[in-house]
Amino acid sequence: MKIDLQRGKIVQPTFKVEPPGRKLDNWLQSYGEYTAENEAPEHFHLWVALGMIAGASRRNVYLQMQHYDVLSNMFIVLVAPAGTARKTTALKIGRNLLKDVPGIHFTTKSSSPAALVKQFSELPEKDQQSLTAISYELGTFFSANTADMVDLATDLYDGNPDWDKQTIARGMEKITKPWFNFLSATTPQWLGDYLTATAVEGGFVSRSLFIYADKRKLSNPRPSPNPKLKELRRLLINDLTHISTLNGEFSFSEDAGQLYDEWYLDQRRFPQFPDPRVSGYYERKHIHVLKVAMCLSMSERDDRVIQPRDIETALKLLETIEPGYHRSFSAVGKNLYATDMERVLAQIAATGKDGLPHGAIVAKNYHSMSGREMADAIEQLQAMGAITLVAGNRYTASRGTIA
Average pLDDT of 57-74? 95
* 91 shares its domain with 64: yes
| Mean pLDDT value of segment 201-217 | 85
The C-alpha atoms of residue 174 and residue 129 are separated, in whole angstroms, by: 11
CB neighbour list of residue 258: distance below 8 Å, 6 or more residues apart: none
Give me the number of domains the chain comprises: 2
Residues 332-360, mean pLDDT to the nearest whole number: 81
Predicted confidence at residue 150, as pLDDT, reads 84
In a shared domain, residues 273 and 368: no
The answer on pLDDT for 3 being more than 50 is: no
CA of 233: how far to CAs of 2, 88, 203, in Å? 19, 19, 36
DSSP states along 180-230 = EEEEEEE-HHHHHHHS-HHHHHSHHHHHEEEEE--------SS----HHHH
**Is 357 found in the same domain as 286?**
no
Residue 318 maps to a domain: yes
Please report the sign of the dihedral spanned by the C-alpha atoms of residue 95, residue 98, residue 102, residue 106: negative
pLDDT of 253 above 80 = yes
The predicted structure's pLDDT at residue 14: 52
149: containing domain: 5-328
What distance in Å separates the CA atoms of residue 30 and residue 312, rounded to the nearest whole number? 20
* Inside any domain, residue 10: yes
CA distances, 26 to each of 20, 33, 183, 202, 389 (Å): 16, 11, 22, 36, 49
301, 328, 355 — which closes off a domain? 328
Average pLDDT over residues 15-41: 92
CB 87 within 8 A of CB 61: no
d(C-alpha 58, C-alpha 72), whole Å: 7
The C-alpha atoms of residue 78 and residue 66 are separated, in whole angstroms, by 33
pLDDT at 349 over 50: yes
Residue 240 lies inside a defined structural domain of this protein: yes
> How much is the average pLDDT of 297-312?
98
CATH number of the domain bearing residue 380? 1.10.10
Q: Is 387 found in the same domain as 247? A: no
Q: Which residues pair with 132 in a beta bridge?
A: 106, 181
Q: What is the mean pLDDT of residues 79-96?
A: 92
Question: Domain holding 40: CATH number?
Answer: 3.40.50.300
Prediction pTM value: 0.81
Q: Kindly give, in sequence order, each residue whose CB lies less than 8 Å from that of residue 259, ignoring residues fewer than 6 positions away.
A: 308, 311, 312
131-158 residue pLDDT tens: 999 999 998 888 767 778 888 888 899 9
Residues near 198 by beta carbon (within 8 Å), at least 6 away in sequence: none
User: pLDDT band at residue 403, thresholds of 50, 70 and 90?
Assistant: very low
**Residue environment code for 149-163, b if the CB has 16+ CB neighbours within 10 A, otherwise e:** bbbbbbbbbbbeeeb
Q: Is residue 106 part of a domain?
A: yes
Whether the per-residue pLDDT at 187 is higher than 80: the answer is yes
| Domain assignment present for 333 | no
Partners of 248 in the β-ladder: 61
For residue 402, being part of any structural domain is answered with no
Q: Tell me: do 146 and 271 sit in the same domain.
A: yes
The dihedral through the CA atoms of 33, 34, 39, 45 has a sign that is negative
CB neighbours (10 Å) of residue 85? 24
Burial label for 382, CB within 10 Å (0-12, 13-18, 19+), is: middle
Angle between helix axes 42-57 and 308-321 (nearest 10 degrees) is: 130
Q: Above 70 in pLDDT, residue 327?
A: yes
- Kindly state the average pLDDT of the residues 98-109: 92
Q: Which range, 193-197, 208-212, 325-329, 372-376, is most confident?
A: 208-212
Query: Tell me, what's the pLDDT at 294?
Result: 98
Mean pLDDT, to the nearest integer, of 339-357? 87
Whether residues 258 and 373 fall in one domain: no
Q: For residue 250, what pLDDT is reported?
A: 98
Same domain as 112, residue 247: yes
Q: If DSSP codes are grouped into helix, strand and coil, which group holds residue 5?
A: helix
Q: Is residue 34, in this structure, part of any structural domain at all?
A: yes
Task: Report the percent of the chain where pLDDT is more than 70.
Answer: 88
- 343 lies in the same domain as 320: no
Cβ neighbours, 10 Å, residue 351: 16
pLDDT score of 335 = 57
Q: Is the pLDDT of residue 337 over 70?
A: no
Position 340 scores a pLDDT of 80
My answer on whether 252 and 352 are in the same domain is no
Q: Is residue 403 assigned to a domain?
A: no
55 and 181 both lie in a single domain: yes
Last residue of a domain, one of 328, 356, 374: 328
Of 328, 348, 366, the last residue of a domain is 328
Q: Where on the phi/psi map is residue 266: left (φ > 0), alpha (ψ -120 to 50), or beta?
A: beta
Give me the pLDDT at residue 244, please. 97
| pLDDT at 8 > cutoff 50 | no
Whether residue 12 is predicted with pLDDT greater than 50 in this model: the reply is no
Q: What is the pLDDT of residue 157?
A: 94
- For residues 75 and 127, membership in a common domain is answered with yes
Residue 11 has a pLDDT of 39
320-to-63, 185, 325, 326, 359 alpha-carbon distances in Å: 24, 18, 10, 13, 34
Contacts of 134 (CB under 8 A, 6+ apart): 91, 94, 95, 98, 106, 109, 183, 184
**Averaged confidence pLDDT in the chain:** 87
Same domain, 73 and 214: yes
One-letter amino acid for residue 94 of the chain:
G
